[in-house]
């Protein structure tokens, strides 16, 4: 009976992450046209995306710790409610400042959904089952973000506000289902967590991370996230301004690339790790990401743009799990701290990248892609140099357990 309950819980958690990531993706192709209603452009879009990342950076560690002390379910439901209402508020907004409030609240809601869900899966799975459980959550997240843009492009045909209402309503429905169906388990660390003193503040944790053996990988995470978010933050605006693409056109480009990445992640990436090793996968795909980012400036024609954007999406899909795996391997008995720092550095990149990209876009719409190319190429040089000097063994194929 307990196993059946755990399976039900896992499916509900997958649905929650699917809805959360789908809600993020659903608005992407709509944003250029939606922001024109307010008479704003790239700078505002960049700061809106950065505001979402800022909320996650500040609140994710707090959400994880609070869920250790008070249980997972209440924070998952609360996060979904905040996220859903914020999405609806975005659709109802009549001023730019309301958009900023809404995006920060959306990030806050997502911050209180994701860490407790990850912890919940750890609570209901054995060590042997955990990899499979986390993999299922990862698949739900990828699928949500992949399907979201296509759905957003289609729904925008009704009106520009409708995708936000759908995303918000779906999150509220997920909150109700979680309240009704999700078992209210007591995790094994409740007592210990309640007795523990609060963790170090985020600044002290960031300083501590500079002294770890895997600090170079955290720098890679930051620079990689910074470079990628330059591309993702402004691509919809770029295609709208340069080629006059509709939200549906943009959603097709984003969705095809996302699906290609998800499929290859499911069936190819593990084979690449075993044959070449994670570091070689990172290095090759950093070069591919840099090259395709630069190519965006020079290509034209819907099919060619689609191919270049898809290759970029595939490269980024391969880099993320490779970096995560290497950090986990090098971290030893600091898995929790390393995972938290990984998320923190990624959030920082996702914060500063869009903000700077938006400013640059309003100055020259090609400049974010030039900057992103330089950052990704620099990330390649850093990773390659460090590996050759200090960890050449990482260039060997991954050893399967």
Q: Are residues 162 and 34 in the same domain?
A: yes
Residues 6 or more apart whose Cβ sits within 8 Å of residue 48: 99, 100, 103
- What percent of the chain is predicted at pLDDT more than 90? 25
Residue bearing the bigger pLDDT, 333 or 147: 147
Give the N- to C-terminal CA distance of the chain in Å, as an integer: 32
Split into its structural domains, the chain has a count of 2
- Shared-domain flag, residues 229 and 144: no
Higher pLDDT, 330 or 299: 299
Is residue 383 predicted with pLDDT exceeding 50?
A: yes
Residues 113 and 231 in one domain: no
The per-residue pLDDT for 313 is: 86
If one compares 255 and 61, the residue with the highest pLDDT of the two is 255
Instruction: Examine the domain organization and report whether 147 and 223 are in the same domain.
Output: no
**pLDDT at 197 exceeding the cut of 90:** no
The answer on pLDDT for 140 being more than 50 is: yes
For the stretch 118-135, pLDDT in tens is 778 777 776 566 656 666
pLDDT value of residue 203: 78
43 and 3 in a common domain: yes
Residue 2 CB partners (closer than 8 Å, separation 6+): none
Q: What pLDDT, on a 0 to 100 scale, did the predictor assign at position 362?
A: 86
Q: What is the pTM of this model?
A: 0.76
The verdict on 190 and 272 lying in the same domain is no
Q: What is the pLDDT of residue 127?
A: 59
The answer on 215 and 92 residing in a single domain is: no
CA–CA gap between residue 376 and residue 227 (Å, rounded): 6
CATH label of the domain that carries residue 39: 1.20.1250.20
Q: Which residue has the higher pLDDT, 16 or 117?
A: 16
Report pLDDT for 380: 92
Same domain, 76 and 223: no
> Model confidence at 321, in pLDDT bands (50, 70, 90)?
confident
Domain shared by 209 and 339, yes or no: yes
| Mean pLDDT, residues 47-54 taken together | 85
Among candidate residues 174, 199, 224, the one where a domain is terminated: 199
Query: Are residues 34 and 77 located together in one domain of the fold?
Result: yes
45-65 mean pLDDT: 82
With 0-12 CB in 10 A as exposed, 13-18 as middle and 19+ as buried, what is 242? middle
Residue-number span of the structural domain to which 258 is assigned:
200-401
Task: Report pLDDT digits (tens) over 22-37.
Answer: 887 787 788 888 888 8
pLDDT of residue 331: 67
Q: Which two tokens stand for residue 112?
A: 């209180």
Position 401 confidence tier, pLDDT thresholds 50, 70, 90: very low
Per-residue pLDDT of 210-252, as tens digits, reads 888 888 888 888 888 888 777 877 888 899 889 998 888 888 8
Same domain (yes/no): 107, 172: yes
Average pLDDT over residues 310-336: 76
**Residue range 186-196: mean pLDDT, rounded:** 50
Q: Are residues 1 and 125 in the same domain?
A: yes
Please report the pLDDT score of residue 400 as a whole number. 44
Nearest-CA neighbor of 346 among 231, 218, 258?
218
Tens-place pLDDT, residues 296-311: 999 999 999 999 999 9
Query: Domain boundary at 181, 199, 217, which?
Result: 199
Q: What is the mean pLDDT of the chain?
A: 82
Given 199, 214, 231, the domain boundary residue is 199
**The CA-based dihedral angle spanning residues 96, 97, 99, 102, taken in that order and rounded to the nearest 10 degrees:** -170
pLDDT digits (tens, 9 = 90+) for 254-285: 888 878 877 887 778 778 878 888 889 889 99
| Mean pLDDT confidence for 366-376 | 92
> Highest mean pLDDT: which of 137-141, 303-307, 327-331, 387-391?
303-307
pLDDT-derived band of residue 329, with 50, 70 and 90 as boundaries? confident
Residue 340's pLDDT is: 66
Q: What is the pLDDT of residue 24?
A: 79
């Amino acid at each position: 009976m307990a196993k059946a309950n755990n399976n039900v819980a896992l499916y509900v958690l997958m649905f929650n992450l699917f809805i959360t990531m789908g809600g993020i993706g659903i608005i992407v192709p709509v944003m250029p046209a939606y922001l024109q209603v307010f008479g704003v452009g790239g700078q505002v879009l960049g700061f809106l995306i950065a505001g979402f990342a800022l909320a996650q950076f500040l609140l994710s560690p707090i959400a994880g710790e609070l869920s250790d002390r008070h249980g997972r379910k209440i924070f998952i439901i609360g996060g979904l409610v905040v996220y859903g209402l914020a999405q609806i508020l975005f659709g109802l907004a009549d001023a730019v400042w309301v958009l900023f409030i809404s995006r920060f609240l959306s990030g806050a809601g997502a911050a209180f959904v994701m860490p407790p869900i990850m912890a919940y899966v750890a609570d209901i799975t054995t060590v042997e089952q955990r990899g499979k459980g986390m993999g299922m959550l990862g698949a739900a997240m990828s699928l949500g973000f992949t399907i979201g843009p296509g759905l957003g492009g289609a729904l925008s045909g009704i009106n520009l506000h409708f995708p936000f209402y759908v995303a918000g309503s779906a999150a509220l429905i997920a909150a109700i289902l979680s309240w009704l169906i999700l078992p209210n388990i007591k995790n094994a660390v409740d007592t210990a967590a309640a007795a523990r003193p609060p963790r170090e503040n985020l600044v002290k944790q960031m300083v501590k991370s500079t002294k770890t053996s895997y600090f170079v990988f955290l720098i890679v995470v930051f620079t990689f996230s910074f470079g990628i978010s330059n591309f993702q933050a402004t691509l919809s605006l770029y295609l709208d301004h340069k080629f006059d693409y509709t939200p549906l056109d943009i959603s097709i480009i984003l969705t095809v690339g996302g699906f290609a990445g998800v499929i290859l992640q499911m069936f190819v990436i593990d084979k690449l790790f075993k044959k070449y090793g994670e570091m070689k996968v990172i290095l090759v795909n950093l070069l591919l990401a840099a090259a395709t980012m630069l190519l965006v400036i020079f290509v034209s024609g819907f099919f060619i743009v689609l191919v270049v954007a898809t290759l970029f999406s595939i490269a980024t899909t391969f880099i993320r799990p490779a970096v995560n795996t290497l950090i986990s391997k090098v971290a030893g008995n600091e898995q929790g701290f390393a995972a938290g720092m990984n998320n923190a550095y990624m959030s920082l990149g996702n914060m500063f990248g869009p903000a700077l990209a938006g400013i640059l876009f309003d100055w020259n719409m090609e400049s974010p892609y030039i900057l992103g190319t330089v950052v990704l190429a620099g990330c390649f040089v850093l990773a390659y140099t460090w590996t050759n000097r200090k960890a050449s063994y990482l260039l060997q194929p991954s050893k399967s357990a």
